[in-house]
Every structure is written in structure tokens, then in C-alpha cells.
Amino acid sequence: MEKGFSAKEEKVTNLGSELKTDKKGIAKFLKGKKFTYTLPGKKQINIFGSIVLGLNLLLAIIAIAYFKNDSVHEFIFNIGR
């Protein structure tokens, strides 16, 4: 038993190349373009993580205030009308 790719898989890729058709629309426009995706840096990950955690904390505080404080409950109830 050989390791790696088998000859059978190579035959499948050869069949796929025969079925290629001309691309239309945006695919035709982007055919020659090369786009690369770069992973976000550590600073960007920390900024987005902080924003998400901050908004979740704010939502939790508002939910607790809604159930514990009657004036907040009335305020949100009146806005919803």
C-alpha cells in the first residue's frame, strides 16, 4: 500500500479538466486577478475580541437591569410601542 495520492484520484482530476466551460459575469472578470487572503494580526484580533466581549457585557447588564429595575422596564416597554 502506497502513501500519498493514488492514481485513481489523478484520473478524477483529469476528467474535471475536460468539463471546463467558459466563465461568465464576475467570474470572467476575476479570472486573471489574483486575490490573497491574509489572516488578521494579533492586534486586530484583540480589537475585535474586545468589541464583541464589551457588547456582550453591555447586553447582559441591560438584561439584568430590565428584570431588576422597574424604571428600566418601563422605559424599554414604552420604546417598544
The phi and psi torsions of 69 (rounded to 5 degrees) equal -110, 125
Place of cell 456582550: 56
Overall number of domains in the chain: 1
Give a yes or no: residue 56 inside a domain. Answer: yes
Model confidence over 37-51: pLDDT tens digits? 788 899 999 999 999
Distances (CA, A) of 36 to 8, 26, 33, 39, 44: 31, 17, 10, 10, 18
Give a yes or no: residue 1 inside a domain. Answer: no
Q: Which three cell numbers stand for residue 42?
A: 494579533
Domain interval for residue 48? 7-79
For the chain, state the CA radius of gyration: 27
pLDDT of residue 8: 54
Give a yes or no: residue 49 inside a domain. Answer: yes
Give a yes or no: residue 54 inside a domain. Answer: yes
| pTM assigned to the model | 0.51
pLDDT of residue 38: 86
Give a yes or no: residue 2 inside a domain. Answer: no
